[in-house]
Amino acid sequence: MHVGPVDIYEEVLYAGLKNNVGFTSEEFVNVFRDSLKGLRYLFQVDDTYQPFIIPGGGTSAMESVTSFLTKGDKILVVSNGVFGDRWINIFKKYPVEVDYLKAEAGDYVSIDSVKEKVKQKHYKLITFTHVETSTGVRHPIKESVKEIKDYVDIVVVDGVSSVGAEEVKAKDWDVDIYLTASQKAIGAPPGLGLLVISENAMKHLREDNIAGYYLDLKNWLPVMRSMEEGKAAYFSTLPVHTVFMLNEALKLIQDEGIENRVKRHEKVAGAIRTGIEGMGLEIVAKRPEAYSNTVTGVMLRKAKAQDVLSEIVKEGVEIAPGVHPSLQGKYVRIGHMGWVTPNDAIITISALERTLKRLGEDIRVGEGVRAAQSYLT
Ligand code: PMP
Q: What is the pLDDT of residues 293-339, one digit of tens each?
A: 999 999 999 999 999 999 999 999 999 999 999 999 999 999 999 99
Q: Ligand 1 atom closest to Cα of 129?
A: 3
Query: Which amino acid residue places its CA nearest to atom 10 of ligand 1?
Result: 58
What average pLDDT does the segment 103-109 reach?
A: 98
Q: How far apart are CA 281 and CA 367, in angstroms?
A: 11
Cβ atoms < 10 Å from Cβ of 7:
17
Give the gyration radius of the chain's Cα atoms.
Answer: 21
Question: What is the distance in A from the centroid of ligand 1 to the CA of 59?
Answer: 6
Question: What is the distance in A from the centroid of ligand 1 to the CA of 4?
Answer: 9
Q: Does 231 have pLDDT greater than 90?
A: yes
What average pLDDT does the segment 232-241 reach?
A: 96
What is the pLDDT of the chain when averaged over all its residues?
A: 98
What average pLDDT does the segment 341-350 reach?
A: 98
Based on the number of CB atoms within 10 Å of its own CB, is 43 exposed (0-12), middle (13-18) or buried (19 or more)?
Answer: buried
Position 232, amino acid: A
Amino acid 164: pLDDT: 98
Amino acid 5: pLDDT: 96
With contact defined as beta carbons under 8 Å apart, do 364 and 316 qualify?
no
CATH 3.90.1150.10 fits 258-376, yes or no: yes
Amino acid 101: pLDDT: 98
Helix (H) or strand (E) holding 170: none
Question: What is the distance in A from the centroid of ligand 1 to the CA of 3?
Answer: 10
Nearest Cα neighbor of 299 from 335, 333, 331 is 331
The question of ipTM being above 0.85 is answered as yes
Helix (H) or strand (E) holding 180: strand 177-181
Q: Does 23 have pLDDT greater than 90?
A: no
Nearest Cα neighbor of 80 from 56, 61, 62, 106 is 106
Q: Ligand 1 atom closest to Cα of 190?
A: 15
Q: How far apart are CA 337 and CA 357, in angstroms?
A: 26
Query: Which amino acid residue places its CA nearest to atom 11 of ligand 1?
Result: 58
How many degrees, rounded to 5, is the angle at CA 32 between CA 27 and CA 36? 150
pLDDT in tens, 184-225: 999 999 999 999 999 999 999 999 999 999 999 999 999 999
Amino acid 273: pLDDT: 98
What average pLDDT does the segment 281-303 reach?
A: 97
Assigned CATH topology for domain 10-256: Aspartate Aminotransferase; domain 2 (3.40.640)
Count the helices and strands in the chain (H runs, E runs). 13, 12
What average pLDDT does the segment 104-133 reach?
A: 98
**Pocket-forming residues, ligand 1, beta carbon under 6 Å:** 4, 57-59, 83, 129, 133, 158, 160-161, 181
- The full set of domain ranges for the chain reads 10-256, 258-376
Query: Which amino acid residue places its CA nearest to atom 14 of ligand 1?
Result: 58
With contact defined as beta carbons under 8 Å apart, do 38 and 247 qualify?
yes
Q: Does 357 have pLDDT greater than 90?
A: yes
Q: Ligand 1 atom closest to Cα of 60?
A: 16
Q: Does 37 have pLDDT greater than 90?
A: yes
What average pLDDT does the segment 169-180 reach?
A: 98
Amino acid 220: pLDDT: 98
Q: Does 154 have pLDDT greater than 90?
A: yes
Nearest Cα neighbor of 340 from 294, 375, 273, 292 is 294
Q: How confident is the model at residue 19 (pLDDT cuts 50, 70, 90)?
A: very high
Q: How far apart are CA 13 and CA 23, in angstroms?
A: 20
Q: How far apart are CA 367 and CA 336, in angstroms?
A: 20
Omega cis (within 30) before 5:
yes
Q: Does 32 have pLDDT greater than 90?
A: yes
Query: Which amino acid residue places its CA nearest to atom 13 of ligand 1?
Result: 58
In Å, what is the CA distance from 214 to each residue of 92, 160, 236?
18, 21, 8
The β-bridge relationship of strands 123-129 and 152-158 is parallel
Q: Does 275 have pLDDT greater than 90?
A: yes
Identify any residues that bridge with 100 across adjacent strands, giving them in sequence order. 77
Query: Which amino acid residue places its CA nearest to atom 4 of ligand 1?
Result: 160
- What are the residues whose beta carbons fall under 8 Å from the beta carbon of 296, sequence distance 6 or more? 136, 269, 272, 273, 276, 283, 284, 285, 333, 334, 336
Q: Which of 161, 178, 182, 242 to mutate to test the pocket of ligand 1 (most atoms within 8 A of CB)?
A: 161
Q: Does 234 have pLDDT greater than 90?
A: yes
Q: How far apart are CA 330 and CA 304, in angstroms?
A: 7
How many degrees, rounded to 5, is the angle at CA 96 between CA 213 and CA 110? 115
